Structure 1
Amino acid sequence: MTVLESRPGRGLLPRVLPPGLYSGRAKAIIERSALTYSRGWLVFLSGFVEPLFYLLAFQIGFGRLVAEVTGPDGQPMSYVAFVAPALLAASAMNGAVFDSTFGVFFKFRYDRTYDAMLATPIGPFDIALGEIGWAVLRGGLYALAFFGVMTGMGLVVSPWALLLVPVALLVSFAFAAAGMACATFLRSPSQFDFIQLAVVPMFLFSTTFYPLTVYPEVLRVVVQCLPLYHGVELTRGLSVGVLDVSMLGHLAYLLVLAVLGLYGTSRRLHRLLLR
């Protein structure tokens, strides 16, 4: 937020208030996004339908070729049950990335929406928290719908699977925060190819369709550095009720990414909008 203060000989000049005064106003940005999408709700289907088609394709086609794979507990499980929780995490990622990159870029570079917001008590931290909060909400809605499909297909076999939706919210938070920070560096729509260049390989290689053991040792290290890998491992373990200490590491990774992304986004917006 900026206010005008009088300085001797210089007239009225803008003064930036401390970032601590920005908090508590992000709700208005989330409400604005909800009202904006209330007339374009079909857009929500984009991030949900793609993983759903993958799941149905594996259920009808590929799942008949690969009947069983080794699950997180070392016991055999159906291939569809193996892939489903990973696709749920990917669905949460898709919803979060779309809003935090494409949506934010056009509001920032073309519509100048955030410049108008700064004329109100809303500040850069509010904008970051509000946009990320909406992206998390969207990713969570995708995950909740996908969880319903999994339940209808009989792929939910453990009470721990109820934690899949909260984990999906964390996945959405991490990707939304990191995605929005990246969006502030984009200068033209053509640069969205870089976003796809990061998201698509992550979707394909983060143990979404096969276990980590199929990779050579060197590539395993690379895969374990990918954010989606940690979300997939969490959801896959919870889906069959297999809990171990490594889950704490996956949670910590996503939490750190979310916090760093939120901080980085806030700092970038402060620099770009209040410079």
Structure 2
Amino acid sequence: MNTHAVSLPLRIVPTAMLSIRRPQRMIERSAYVYRRGWLILLSGFFEPLLYLLSIRVGLSALVGDIEMGGRTFSYDEFVAPGLMAAAAMNGAVFECTANVFYKIKHSKLYEAVLATPMSAGDVALGEIGGAVVRSGLYAIAFAITMWALGLVASPWMVLAIPAAMLIGFTFASLGMALTTFMRSWEDFEYVPAITLPLFLFSTTFYPLSQYGEWAWMVGLSPLYHGVELVRAADLGVWDGSIIGHIAVLVGLSVVGLAVASRRIERLLLT
């Protein structure tokens, strides 16, 4: 066997990821902390919900119907899955940016954790896993709201929950990786500067065809790929592009997790 071929992936993958053993302990800690402050978990859920209610009350009647996959849907049916994807993004970003920064710079939580048998990879994957759980809770709550409002267009909607959790994993990984480079609280001004354009230019409110010559820029948004997955599940409209959307989100998740693991290991163990 070619030992060089075997050792090459080990050089690329951060050593912290190779020592992942107990990430669930970080998730357990987060659940313990939030059991008394559970209202904080809802903070990122209400903004997309209010968008949905405002569109349903007034804007949907003005815009009219949207055609997808040879079927016609009302505008609020079209927008609702995109807002569900945005809620999943919010949950992940809120959990893995300011919260993680506080634990690194102020509470020194991770230094205490790494004094135990847990590794930097456990910390990274555990915090990201907690964010995925938060995204999943947002997605479930949003799906129930859509059902109550009569906006669930297909039984395939059940697949929107794992799709939202994949969105959460992607943004949690990228958010945590970005947070490890931040030096002060002022740097968090960049977070809404990044997430707001992603929210507005990700086919949440308009089909991709409406972006014209700027459609290629929409394809650069991770949220766009997530919106398309959730919308396909809700509307029951499937095509081969779904595989590409999943591949993009999984690839970004792996890159984000690798960078976050390497950075935490460098910040706290060197």
CA distance in 1, matches of 2:70, 2:210: 15
The number of residues matched between the two structures is 256
| TM, length-normalised to structure 1 | 0.91
Structure 2 counterpart of 1:247? 242
| TM, length-normalised to structure 2 | 0.92
Write out per-residue CA displacement over residues 234-273 of structure 1, whole angstroms, 9 at most, x where no aligned residue: 1111211111100000000000011111111101111111
Determine if the alignment matches structure 1 residue 190 to structure 2 residue 186.
yes
Determine if the alignment matches structure 1 residue 211 to structure 2 residue 207.
yes
Determine if the alignment matches structure 1 residue 52 to structure 2 residue 49.
yes
CA gap 1:20/1:184 in 2 versus in 1, 3 angstroms = closer
Provide the secondary structure at the position in 2 that maps to 1:69: strand
Structure 1 counterpart of 2:176? 180
Structure 2 counterpart of 1:221? 216
Structure 2 counterpart of 1:258? 253
Amino acid at match of 1:141: L
Structure 2 counterpart of 1:149? 145
- Structure 1 residue 20: deviation in Å? 6.5
CA distance in 1, matches of 2:122, 2:91: 21
Structure 1 counterpart of 2:129? 133
Provide the secondary structure at the position in 2 that maps to 1:76: strand
Determine if the alignment matches structure 1 residue 24 to structure 2 residue 21.
yes
Amino acid at match of 2:200: L
Provide the secondary structure at the position in 2 that maps to 1:190: helix
Q: Based on CA coordinates, which of the two structures has the bigger radius of gyration? A: 1
Contact 2:16 2:261 in 1 (8 A): no
- Structure 1 residue 21: deviation in Å? 6.7
Determine if the alignment matches structure 1 residue 42 to structure 2 residue 39.
yes
Q: Structure 1: which 5+ residue stretches go unaligned?
A: 1-17
CA distance in 2, matches of 1:199, 1:21: 31
CA distance in 2, matches of 1:131, 1:60: 38
- Structure 1 residue 183: deviation in Å? 0.3
Write out per-residue CA displacement over residues 197-244 of structure 1, whole angstroms, 9 at most, x where no aligned residue: 110110011111111111131x21111010000001111112111111
Indicate the percent of aligned positions where both proteins have the same amino acid.
52
CA distance in 2, matches of 1:177, 1:121: 23
Determine if the alignment matches structure 1 residue 237 to structure 2 residue 237.
no
CA gap 1:21/1:258 in 2 versus in 1, 3 angstroms = closer
CA distance in 1, matches of 2:77, 2:105: 42
Structure 1 counterpart of 2:12? none
Structure 2 counterpart of 1:267? 262
Q: Structure 2: which 5+ residue stretches go unaligned?
A: 1-14
Contact 2:16 2:262 in 1 (8 A): no
Structure 2 counterpart of 1:170? 166
Q: 1:80 aligns with which of 63, 66, 76?
A: 76
CA distance in 2, matches of 1:205, 1:257: 19
Provide the secondary structure at the position in 2 that maps to 1:210: coil
Provide the secondary structure at the position in 2 that maps to 1:242: coil
CA distance in 1, matches of 2:233, 2:129: 24
Structure 1 counterpart of 2:89? 93
Aligned-CA RMSD value: 1.2
